[in-house]
Amino acid sequence: MSIYGTGLGQVNFPPSDGSPASSNPLSRTQLAVTARLGLDGFGQTLLGPQGPLYSGLAPGLIGVGQFVFQIPYDAPEGCAVPLRLQGTFVESQPVTMSIRWGGGPCVDAALARLIHSGPGKPDRPASAASEILHLSSTLARTRSAL
């Protein structure tokens, strides 16, 4: 997955002002960058625990940062999974992305377990349905607290 943005900080081999970033050598970020998927406090998944596959200026573009991560298999599924980039001193505002293993239309995680339930599969429809109700009531309590 490639994420593009600005404000990534200092890079090695910076291009001159107004010039596109080079592909050789790459202009990599000098400070560590990580990314997190999911809601705060709800089993977040760290993308690239050892860091991104690439973090630096996007080659051929002017002033645009590029972060390349691999989405792990334990990433949460859903229609609007929050994603945040985190540097050494600052964290981005969350953006949302859709994650659905196996393709197809977007389905929120608890509903996906309902759909994928069936003979010979570990999830049971009753437990997934009760999880949907639990998630709905938790969301309602959170909204009323705000």
Tell whether 48 and 75 lie within a shared domain: yes
Residue with tokens 């339930």: 117
Tell whether 117 and 101 lie within a shared domain: no
Tell whether 31 and 48 lie within a shared domain: yes
Tell whether 100 and 118 lie within a shared domain: no
Question: Which residue has better confidence, 25 or 145?
Answer: 25
User: Residue 60 pLDDT > 90, yes or no?
Assistant: yes
pLDDT of residue 116: 47
Question: Which residue has better confidence, 50 or 38?
Answer: 38
User: Residue 19 pLDDT > 90, yes or no?
Assistant: yes
Region 77-85 average pLDDT: 86
Q: E strands of the chain, at which residues?
A: 2-5, 34-37, 45-47, 54-57, 65-68, 78-86, 95-99
Region 55-79 average pLDDT: 89
Residue 107 pLDDT grade (very low, low, confident, very high; cuts 50, 70, 90): confident
What is the total count of domains within the chain? 2
Tell whether 101 and 134 lie within a shared domain: no
User: Residue 28 pLDDT > 90, yes or no?
Assistant: yes
Tell whether 121 and 64 lie within a shared domain: no
Its domain, for residue 51, covers 2-106
User: Residue 27 pLDDT > 80, yes or no?
Assistant: yes
On whether the CB atoms of residues 27 and 9 are closer than 8 A, the answer is: no
Tell whether 62 and 85 lie within a shared domain: yes
Tell whether 62 and 17 lie within a shared domain: yes
Tell whether 32 and 98 lie within a shared domain: yes
